[in-house]
Amino acid sequence: MALSGIRVVDLTRILAGPFCTMLLADMGADVIKIESPKGGDPVRDQGAIVNGFSWYFAQFNRNKRSVTLDLYSDEGKAVLADLIRRADVLVENYRPGVLAQMGFDEARLNELNPVLIVASINGYGSTGPQAERPSFDFVAQAMSGFMSLNGDPKGQPMRTGVPMADLIAGLYAAFGIVSALVSRGGPGTGQGQRVESSLMNGMISLLAYLSAQYFATGEVPSRAGNDHPVVCPYGLFNAADGDVAIAPSNDLTARRLFDAIELTHVLDDPDFATNDARLRNRERMNALVNEKIRQRPVDEWIAYLNEAGVPCGRVMDLSEVFSDPQVLAQEMVLDMVHPEAGTVRVTGFPVKLSTTPARLRLPAPSLGADNDAVFRELGYSPERVAALRHGNSLETK
């Protein structure tokens, strides 16, 4: 696998951090998830629980191993230090400064392991006037400008339906870590370094042409709902039995659409002849298209318009997505067998590598499932392994 042999010490919990380390684990890294012996990652108790196991936890913690350590104890910190000594990567999503307070500041980490890559995922970045504020997905969606652009123009600014800021921060961190691994392997380097991503910066980087438009013109973009800011017709149209998403992105595909729905004549009308004209008359244009689309059901339109070379699709709910032949052919639904919880279903791998593909090697672990194995790998004596079993620290406090 692509990241075989890369050892990751994972101090993250909840979503952004575990998503990052899941991406590394899916690619083959040995991710050791350090959890509190008192219940571990809070996500273990969230979402639907089946046979005592959270499927939300399973989704983001597959392919990892779980070790419990009391990081408030000297013994727990000593074990963490040993894990860090032989690791390639440490990932944490504490607030800036917390890891140092726990005794692992930059100097100490460098002393333990000068080639370590230390990745931090936080709310706002670790420098600047608001660095130490707590953040959450919803707050980052609001403060990044993202919500101001999402939703119906007549309604409220709207968060996305998925925890986008968390996921993006995790994905960027994974990209940064792997880039740092390339750098460390390059000629004349061999050095570790710090990698950082934040919920806020990740979301800002996705503002795409909307930020470019603001920078160039000074005009503040606002919500456009399902309308494309500069293309018409484009959007959701009402078929006889549901909605069709139709997205002709240029004049050629717009013409194909008009031909296909017998509206070719609008191109002779100065009100609709060009994209600019259609943008000015968007409501009338959409009404004309809807009048035609309304006459047939969704499935017929999808087949017919795709055949005519017009990009379109149905609005699918999750039951449709996860039974779709294309989605299944892409192996985007996977079953993993957990020793206690039985079969648990998760989503597949979004990046496909031909020679070293991502694989499901390990089910998401029960809390502390890998304590003994990992402590043995550290060379601890059978007595010490026994004493540490189930995450109980030796009575050194």
Q: Looking at the annotation, which residues are catalytic?
A: 166
Interacting residue with a second copy among 289, 346, 369, 388 (CB under 8 A) = 346
81, 100, 102, 171: residue in contact with a second copy (rule CB under 8 A): 171
Place of tokens 């809807």: 290
Residue from the set 38, 107, 134, 270 that interacts with a second copy by CB under 8 A: 134
- In the sheet that holds 235-239, the strands lie side by side as 235-239, 242-246, 312-314
Residue 99 structure tokens: 């890891």
Sign of the C-alpha dihedral computed for residues 325, 329, 330 and 333 taken in this order: positive
- Segment near a second copy (CB under 8 A); pick from 65-73, 78-86, 129-137, 386-394: 129-137
Residue 116 binds a second copy, judged by CB under 8 A: no
> Of 60-99, which residues contact a second copy (CB under 8 A)?
60
Please tell me the distance from the alpha carbon of residue 271 to that of residue 284, in angstroms, as a whole number: 9
Residue pair 355/380 in contact by the 8 Å Cβ criterion? no
Does position 4 interact with a second copy (CB under 8 A)? The reply is yes
**Binding-residue total with a second copy (CB under 8 A):** 150
Number of residues that this document lists for the chain: 397
320 binds a second copy (CB under 8 A): yes
Site for a second copy in 227-256 (CB under 8 A): 228, 230, 234-236, 243, 245, 247, 249
**181 binds a second copy, rule: CB under 8 A:** yes
Residue among 171 and 387 whose Cβ is closer to a second copy: 171
Subset of 20-39 contacting a second copy (CB under 8 A)? 23, 27
- Figure out which of the listed residues 226, 274, 323, 381 binds a second copy, where binding follows CB under 8 A: 226
- Should residue 110 be labelled a site residue for a second copy when binding is judged by CB under 8 A? no
49-50/117-122 β-pairing: unpaired
> Does 112 interact with a second copy (rule: CB under 8 A)?
no
323 scored as a contact of a second copy (CB under 8 A): no
> Does residue 66 sit in helix, strand or coil?
strand
Q: What's the CA gap between 39 and 45, in Å, rounded? A: 9
Return the closest-CA partner of residue 390 out of 378, 372, 374, 373: 372
Pairing relation of β-strands 49-50 and 64-68? unpaired
- 202 with 172: CB under 8 angstroms? yes
Sign of the Cα torsion 199, 200, 201, 205 reads positive
* 56 binding a second copy? (CB under 8 A): yes
Residues 363 and 339 sit within 8 Å (Cβ to Cβ): yes
Residue 337 found at the interface with a second copy (CB under 8 A): no
Site for a second copy in 193-212 (CB under 8 A): 193-198, 200-202, 204-212
Contact present, 21 and 64 (Cβ < 8 Å): yes
Q: Which stretch binds a second copy (CB under 8 A): 69-77, 157-165, 373-381, 384-392?
A: 157-165
Considering beta carbons, is residue 82 or 324 the nearer one to a second copy? 324
**Shortest separation between residue 389's beta carbon and a second copy, angstroms:** 30
Instruction: State the CB neighbour count (10 A cutoff) for residue 284.
Output: 14
CB of 380 to a second copy, least distance (A): 27
Q: Select the span of 61-69, 258-266, 323-331, 368-376 touching a second copy (CB under 8 A).
A: 323-331
Alpha carbon distance 241, 265 (integer Å): 27
Three-class secondary structure of residue 255 per DSSP: helix
Nearer to a second copy, 167 or 369 (CB): 167
* Alpha-carbon Rg for the chain in angstroms: 26
Point out which span in 32-40, 46-54, 90-98, 371-379 binds a second copy (CB under 8 A).
Answer: 46-54
Q: Shortest Cβ distance from residue 49 to a second copy (Å)?
A: 8
